[in-house]
Structure formats: C-alpha cells, structure tokens
Amino acid sequence: MTKKLITPSTTTRRGALKTLGLGGTALAASTAMPGFIQAQSSAPIKIGFQVHRTGIGASYGRWYDRTSQAAVKRINDAGGINGRMVELIPEDDGTDAKRGAEVIEKFATQSNCDIAFGTLFSHVVIGSAPRAGELKLPYFVVSEGHHVASGMLNRYTLQPGITDVKSQVQAMAPYVASNLGKKVCMIYPDFAFGHDHRDYFSAAFEAQGGTINAKIAIPPTETSFTKYFPQIPRDTEVIYHVMTGPAVLTFVKELGEFFGPSRPELFGFIDSLEAVDIASPGLEFLEGSYMWEGMPRYVQTNQSEWDKAYREAVGVDENGASVSDPRDISTYAHMFGCWETLNIIKAGMEASGYQGPADRAKLIEAVEAMSDMAEGMDHPQGAKIFNGKTHQTFGHQYITKVEGGRMNLVHTTSIEDTLYEDEVDYTTQSF
Amino acid sequence: MDRALTLHLAIIAALALAFFILPAYHAGNLARIMVLAIYAMGYNLAFGYTGLLSLGHALFFGAGMYGLSLSMQHLGTPTLPALAIALACAAVVAGVVGALALRTKGVAFMIVTLMFAQAGYLVALYFSEWTRGEEGFVLPQTMRQIAGIDLTTAMGRYFAALVLFAITLLIIGHIVRAPFGRTLIAIRENEARATMLGYDVQRLKWIALVISGTISGLAGATYALLFGYAGASFAAVPYSILPLLYVLLGGAGTTLGPLIGAAFMIYLFDLSADITDAYMLIAGVVLVLLTMFLPQGILGTLRARRFKWLP
C-alpha cells in the first residue's frame, strides 16, 4: 500500500478569491496595526524581582540587585531570550513575609510578569511561595534555605542557582574532621537557622568519626556573649560558630578577649560577615580562622576566567568590594546565585520555546529536565548538578582561611560531598 | 433599622460587589485588608473604646495564627475545629495577660504588654522544632478549605475574609452601642468616675481585653488559613504597632476606622513604592501630615466635623 503524497489541486475560483481576500485583510491589518503585531512578537519578557531593599536583608538586596541587573544586561546584549528583551521589574519586599506575598501577587496580577525571581531570607520565600503556587507563577528563589528541597513548598518554586544550607553544612564536615580537629563545640543562635546548622553539621561530623562535645545555643536577643564561653569544654579543638546579625562583631571581639592568644581552631560561615570588611576593627581575632564561602570574596591565585569576567560585569574588585567604592563590600558568597539563576531561566525558556504565561508549565518542565551545568560564564561559581525532582541545585563549596586581613582559599569540596537523599519529588505534583 | 447598622450592611454589600468589579490585584489586596481590619477592629475595642494602649497585640495575633496552623500541621485538625482552637488559644492568652497587665496603667501597661509580646515571640523562636521559628512554615494547600470551599482560590479567599470581617464588624457594632460598650467608653473617658458610679472597672477592662485579644487571634488564624503561611515574624513588635497605626489613621473609637486605616496604609506603601525606592520616606511624611491635620483619624475627624451619627 502506498501513500498518496501529492493530492490533486481542488482550487476553485471562489476558494482562490476567499484566500486572496483573507491574505489581503491580514496584510492590511499588519500595516494598519504595526504596534499590535510587534507587541505580540517582541514585547519584553518581564521578570518580577523580589528584592530586599529595606529591612534586615537590605545589604544583601543591594548586591542581589546589582548582580541581577548585570546578568540581565549581559542576556540582553546577547539578543535576549527567544529574540525578546528581558525586563526586570524590581519591588521591595521589606525583608518581610507579608510584604513578600503581596509582591508576588503584584507580579502575577498587576505587573503581568512572566515569572518571579528573588530573594534571600527564608521567611520571605516561605511566606511568598504558597501565593506563587496558587497564582501558578514560576518562582525562582536564591535563598540557600533547605525549604525547597525539604518538600515544604510547591512545584512552582525552584532553587536552581544556589546550593542549600543542608548541603553546605554537611560538606564542611570532612575538611573540619581531617584538618582542624575531632572535638567540636558548636555555638549557634537559638532559632531555626542555628538549629539547622546544629542538626546537619553534627550528623555529618559524627559520620566522619568526630565528636560534638558541646552545643551552646545563644538566645536571639543576646547582645553580650562572655557568660556563655565558660560552657566551652577545655578539650575543644574546634569552635564552630554561626552567629548572625550585628551582634556578630561583639561575639568575635568577646571571644578574642576570652581566649587571648591561645585558642582552639575557629570555623564559621561567612553569612553574618557578608558586606562587612574582614579587616574591620574588632575582627582581628578572626585571623587564622576558617570560613565557608559560597564563592571566594577575594581573588584567588587560581582565579578562573569566568570569575574575572563576572567580577568585571557586576563591578566588583579583587577584594570583593565595589569598584566605585572600596568600602562597599559585596555579598560575594551568595550573589552569584542571582547571576546563575537568570542564566538558567534563559536556558529554560529557550529549551521550552517560552512565548508567554501559557508556557509556564513548559518552562518548569524544561528546568526540571536540567541536570549537569558546566562551569562557564553562565555558572562562574563552578559546575553544578541540578536535581529536577527536588528543585534544588548542588555544587562546590569553598573553605577559606583569614590571613593578613583577606581570605585565602584552602579547600574546594566536591559536588558529591554536598549530595543527600531526596526528600521530595515535585514532578509528581500536578500543575 | 438605624443608620449605623444600615451603613455597616451597605459597606458589607459594597465589599461583596467589589470582588466582581475590581481587577484581580486589588481584589486580592482587599481580601488581605479585610483580614488586617479584623485585627485592627479587635485592637480598637481595647484602645479606641476602652483606652487601653497595648503594645502587645501581636501576641494575640500570633496565638491565633499558631493555634490554627500548629493544630492543622501537626495534628491534622480540620479547618473549623482548628479555628476554634485558635480562638481558644487567643482568648486564654489574652485572659492571662489581661489578669497581670491590667494591674498597671498608662505607660506601665504599654511596657508590660510589650514585654509579654516579646516573650511570646521568643517562645515561637525557641520551639522552632514545631514552629520553624523565624522561617515559619507553609500550610498545605489541600487542608485549606471549609465545607468543600477551596480557600486557596481568589473567590474562596475573598469571601471567607468578607464573611469573617462582616461577622466581626456586626459584633463590634453591636457591642459598642450596647450598655457594655457604653460603659467601656465611660471608662476610657473617666475611669475614676466610672468606678465611683459602681462599675467593676477592672473586670470590664479584662473582658474588653479578652474579646479584643480573641478577635485579634481570629485575624491571625484567618491570615494563616487564607495565605498559607505561619511564622514568628507575625508575632514580633512591628505587628503590635501596625493595628495601632491602622486605628489611629482610620479613627480610634469608630467601627469602620480600622478598615479605612488598614486600606490607607497598605495602599500608601504600595502606591508610593511605584513612585520611588524611598517609599518609606513618602509614607512617613504622609503619616506625619495626617497626624498633624487629622489628629482624630479620617473617620474620627469626619464624625467630629460633620457626621455625628457615625458609629
């Protein structure tokens, strides 16, 4: 049996006239309404940008903003996404959960954004994500919280551009156990952020054969810490500290006064010292201590060409400060997440042939289908593995040592060090 | 039907109609405004009608929010029983706080209520294993329904907010014009005189604070239910200041002032944010001007100058 590949023409005079008429009408319409036709094909893709302009997250927000603007400029300079320019629609969330949800509603129902993007502080993300899910607005977050991978949120919320705290913390354990000591005393703020560190690190460290000899929880309103230091056991080899907020300067100063010149090794997370000059008065005691960094603030001897180009694009000098003001220290360990997330959004929109809000589900499926992300200009922090089921990315972590008022890289973890069992499969949820 | 009740019913009808007229964004805003207006109405009963300047109502808002959300999250309690638990939590907390704080007056009362609220906030942080502290947690979408009505849809959310707002408004409207409410106003105006007339002022103030706290708890529970999130930031100091601002702007001691004040504040921030990044400055200047030129609030000034019958 053969297929008839060419059907005989059945054109009639009436049909030809109808076709010509329709074609003429379309031609006339395109001439008479060029703006309308143009708007359908080249209107910018609107990305609602939830940003901490005010509130406790303002120093992060300032640099998230600069990084995102630089990333969008690069995307637009290269021709945009699917031939359309990208427009960021920034809106202050006040680092507040209620305002964050309001901003998401504004993006979805007033600004007519294609997607939402942002933000750092977990309570804003968790307060906003339910509304994003209900409004069916893809919400790409740069929060580093474990809330995405824990399964708490929904299919519309993804974190493809920055690793989460669980993977960061557990990846530190092998280095600490092998190089700094086997007996660790943990000092952490007595709320969820500190509890995450306590739980994830102690489990990972004990798996390395180490011992947590004390867990000292500091009340969140505490302003003086000296009274807690006698609780540090005498045989402590490493103090693991994750204090947050402005009190961190007092914490470090009082710790220095308590121990004097002979102290255990110190290991901490950079989070509370982001946007703070490590050479600030009062931080001298950190000399010789170790820090987690998502991306090293200071230019390292093995600097990649991608880091160099990324710094130049965002306007960051070799010390991690603004090129226009050396006192304006960046949040370098986190803000790369904005750059990388926007590039992932671009890749997802191109893979899904995204044209408008009707393609939002396709966009999410396209991002869920991603896995290996190679280091490069789109991913200057390093290679990553994205887990489409948990909507969470995994990547290298960096450990630096404070030496001579700067932080020098001493260890880079493997991606495998950061992996853990899936806790959710968002792909089983319907759109 | 008297004019006050007619006005209340007309406002409720107008709000019902607004859902079908307003664009989606403003309808969503109005749902949130109604929930916050419930909170401010509760606060107004204590401050506007009884003269109790509390700086700790976030504790009651938080008690309601956690009463509902923790029971739903950890015990799987259905919505209506969870709402009842929330109201009971807020009432008990308000009862205990009232019994202690009402031993003080004036500035001391403000400080004591502030301290209680701060203690409540720290408790929420401390028990982060259950509350997830400052991060908070999400209420599953599937649980957020009443009698088969999905509260996560725009219409379900709006009309749930409207029903609770309407019930609260009618109850408050009734209370403040009943002998009990009149007595509260008498206490606000001259406590010593009310005492001399034989009223048990302490007991009446306590009852007013318990009702006020319970309504505030209803607002907290409603927020968690309709917007799917509970977190410690809602029990922090700023959320004790917000209802005070709503009431002062709208008109303390007016039944509709809280609605006007909440709407004004939310749109003041929202619209000024569209103009400049320094929207806090604009909002601050507007608030100062309002305080200078309308010291009794919007509805309070209208009542004083023209509409004496306004409830």
3-state secondary structure A187-214: EEECCHHHHHHHHHHHHHHHHCCCEEEE
Average of per-residue pLDDT across B60-81? 95
Using 50, 70 and 90 to split pLDDT, how confident is the model at B1? low
Worst-scoring range by mean pLDDT, A242-251, A268-277, A295-304, B7-16?
A242-251
Name the helix (H) or strand (E) containing A86: strand A86-92
Q: Cβ A130–B139 below 8 Å, yes or no?
A: yes
Q: Cβ B23–A110 below 8 Å, yes or no?
A: yes
Worst-scoring range by mean pLDDT, A15-19, A224-228, A342-346, B196-200?
A15-19
Task: Give every CB contact of residue B77 below 8 A, 6+ residues apart in sequence.
Answer: B71, B85
Please report whether residue A35 resides in a domain. Answer: no
pLDDT digits (tens, 9 = 90+) for B131-156: 988 889 999 888 999 888 999 999 99
Task: Give every CB contact of residue B264 below 8 A, 6+ residues apart in sequence.
Answer: B249, B250, B298
Neighbouring C-beta atoms of residue A225, cutoff 10 Å:
21
The two three-digit tokens of residue A339, written as one number: 């750059």
Nearest to A97 among B23, B122, B231 (CB): B231
Worst-scoring range by mean pLDDT, A32-46, A396-410, B102-116?
A32-46
Please report whether residue A1 resides in a domain. Answer: no
**Do residues A405 and A286 both lie within one domain?**
yes
What is the predicted pLDDT for the residue at A19? 47
Q: Which of helix, strand or coil describes residue A75?
A: helix
Average of per-residue pLDDT across A81-107? 94
Please report whether residue A277 resides in a domain. Answer: yes
**Do residues A138 and A174 both lie within one domain?**
no
**Do residues A172 and A205 both lie within one domain?**
yes
Residue A237 pLDDT > 70, yes or no? Answer: yes
B134 in contact with chain A, both atoms CB, cutoff 8 A:
yes
Identify the residue with better confidence: A250 or A88: A88
**Do residues A208 and A286 both lie within one domain?**
yes
DSSP string, B90-133: HHHHHHHHHHHHTTS-HHHHHHHHHHHHHHHHHHHHHTHHHH-T
B301 in contact with chain A, both atoms CB, cutoff 8 A:
no
Q: Say which amino acid occupies A28.
A: A
Which residue in chain A is spatially nearest to B136 when comparing CA positions?
A123
> Are residues A387 and A425 in contact, defined by beta-carbon separation less than 8 angstroms?
no
What is the predicted pLDDT for the residue at A11? 44
**Do residues A273 and A405 both lie within one domain?**
yes
Nearest CA to CA, how far is A195 from chain B (Å)?
A: 8
Considering its fold, how many domains does chain A have in total?
A: 2
**Do residues A179 and A222 both lie within one domain?**
yes
pLDDT digits (tens, 9 = 90+) for A144-188: 889 999 999 999 999 999 999 999 999 999 999 999 999 999 999
> Which alpha helices (H) appear in A81-222, and where do they start and end?
97-109, 122-134, 165-175, 192-207
Please report whether residue A20 resides in a domain. Answer: no
Which residue in chain B is spatially nearest to A103 when comparing CA positions?
B270
**Do residues A144 and A101 both lie within one domain?**
yes
Identify the residue with better confidence: A422 or B269: A422
Nearest to B227 among A91, A96, A101 (CB): A101
The two three-digit tokens of residue A15, written as one number: 């049909």
Identify the residue with better confidence: A36 or A58: A58
The two three-digit tokens of residue A107, written as one number: 């993006």
**Do residues A153 and A74 both lie within one domain?**
yes
What is the predicted pLDDT for the residue at A37? 41
Please report whether residue A279 resides in a domain. Answer: yes
Task: Give every CB contact of residue A257 below 8 A, 6+ residues apart in sequence.
Answer: A226
pLDDT digits (tens, 9 = 90+) for A311-336: 999 999 999 999 999 999 999 999 99
B204 in contact with chain A, both atoms CB, cutoff 8 A:
no
pLDDT digits (tens, 9 = 90+) for B83-136: 999 999 999 999 999 999 999 999 999 999 999 999 999 999 888 889 988 889
The burial class, CB within 10 Å (0-12 / 13-18 / 19+), for B173 is buried
- Quote the pTM value: 0.87
Q: Map tokens 């987690």 to a residue.
A: A292
Share of chain A above pLDDT 70, in %: 90
Nearest CA to CA, how far is A225 from chain B (Å)?
A: 18
Using 50, 70 and 90 to split pLDDT, how confident is the model at A41? low
What is the predicted pLDDT for the residue at B279? 83
**Do residues A208 and A142 both lie within one domain?**
no
CATH number of the CATH domain containing A267: 3.40.50.2300
Residue B226 pLDDT > 70, yes or no? Answer: yes
Best mutation target among B115, B128, B135, B137 (most A Cβ atoms within 10 Å) is B135
Nearest to A191 among B24, B128, B269 (CB): B128
Nearest to B229 among A105, A127, A221 (CB): A127
**Do residues A178 and A158 both lie within one domain?**
no
What is the predicted pLDDT for the residue at A7? 39
Interface list for chain A against chain B, based on CB atoms closer than 8 Å: 53-54, 91-92, 96-99, 101-102, 105-106, 109-110, 122-123, 126-127, 129-131, 133-134, 145, 147, 152-154, 190-193, 195, 219-221
Please report whether residue A327 resides in a domain. Answer: no
Please report whether residue A23 resides in a domain. Answer: no
Residue B178 pLDDT > 80, yes or no? Answer: yes
Average of per-residue pLDDT across A36-65? 83
Residue A347 pLDDT > 60, yes or no? Answer: yes
What is the predicted pLDDT for the residue at A33? 46
Over the range A168-186, which residues count as b (16 or more CB within 10 Å of their CB) and which as e? bbbbbbbbbbeebbeebbb
**Do residues A257 and A405 both lie within one domain?**
yes
What is the predicted pLDDT for the residue at B156? 95
Q: Map tokens 């220290």 to a residue.
A: A329
Nearest CA to CA, how far is A131 from chain B (Å)?
A: 7
Domain that holds residue A374: 42-163+334-395
Worst-scoring range by mean pLDDT, A49-63, A237-251, A355-369, B227-241?
A237-251
Which residue in chain B is spatially nearest to A55 when comparing CA positions?
B280
What is the predicted pLDDT for the residue at A420? 95
What is the predicted pLDDT for the residue at A308? 97
Which residue in chain A is spatially nearest to B238 when comparing CA positions?
A96
Residue B277 pLDDT > 90, yes or no? Answer: no
Average of per-residue pLDDT across A66-78? 97
Residues of A in contact with B69 (CB under 8 A): none
Please report whether residue A65 resides in a domain. Answer: yes
- Residue spans of the domains in chain B: they are 3-237
**Do residues A192 and A289 both lie within one domain?**
yes
